[in-house]
Amino acid sequence: MSNSVFAFGAISRPGRRGWLAIVFVGALTLLFLPMVVSKVVGLGQGDVQVFFRGGWAIRSGYPLYQVIDHHGWTFHYPPTFALLMGPFANPLPGYPQPPWALPFAAAVVVWYLINAACLLLAIHVWANALERHRPVHARAGFLQGPFALRLGSLMALLPFVGDGLARGPAPVLLLLIVVFFALYAENRPASAAFAFSLAVTIKVFPIVLAVLPFLRRDWKFIGWTFG
């Protein structure tokens, strides 16, 4: 098995029912997309515009923590995520659309698909880490073995799937946190610290996970994190 936390070699080939489940999940993801665009763009629901406005503000020189979305909500996160939101920049009314940024509707679509990909990748990384430490032996039948481990995790996250994929960076944070846990369990402090630090610079609350290395007195990881 590859040493990468993203390795795909251990996944057993799904059978007919497995492929049907994959097609169903993919179709459901795409079918829900027009509803998301209608709710976000047409009805103005959700908070994704907060992040898009932050991406515009930090690149246009507008005060980052004064820019508001159509609800009047402000950006109140570290500036790292706003820097990454450049391609999705959405200006305040009366300001021109940056030529290097996607139109709002297209930005919502792309962001939804990115979040969906991050969610699926996070599920795979988590299942891959479990297989390394608690090997899952493939058995005959549906919903068993490595493939079922991933599909089962997706089913557990179904209450989150949908509107959550068109909101803020939660799936991105989920992926970074899962990568942190997987790398930390494999005693790769530098890579784990990078994933952990990036999560903290996007939103502050993942810093509570630092209690784990502090309790273990893992000074190497803590040093890499500060670095």
Domain boundaries, the chain: 16-165
Cα 71 to its chain centre, rounded Å, is 24
Give residue 138's pLDDT band: very low, low, confident or very high (50, 70, 90). Answer: very low
Q: pLDDT tens across 82-95, in order?
A: 888 889 988 998 88
Cα 175 to its chain centre, rounded Å, is 5
185 pLDDT more than 80:
yes
Give pLDDT, residue 134: 66
Higher pLDDT, 110 or 10: 110
* Phi, psi dihedrals of residue 74, rounded to the nearest 5°: -110, 160
Query: How many CB atoms are closer than 10 A to CB 125?
Result: 21
DSSP letter at 41 equals I
Least confident of 7-11, 24-28, 121-125: 7-11
Give residue 14's pLDDT band: very low, low, confident or very high (50, 70, 90). Answer: low
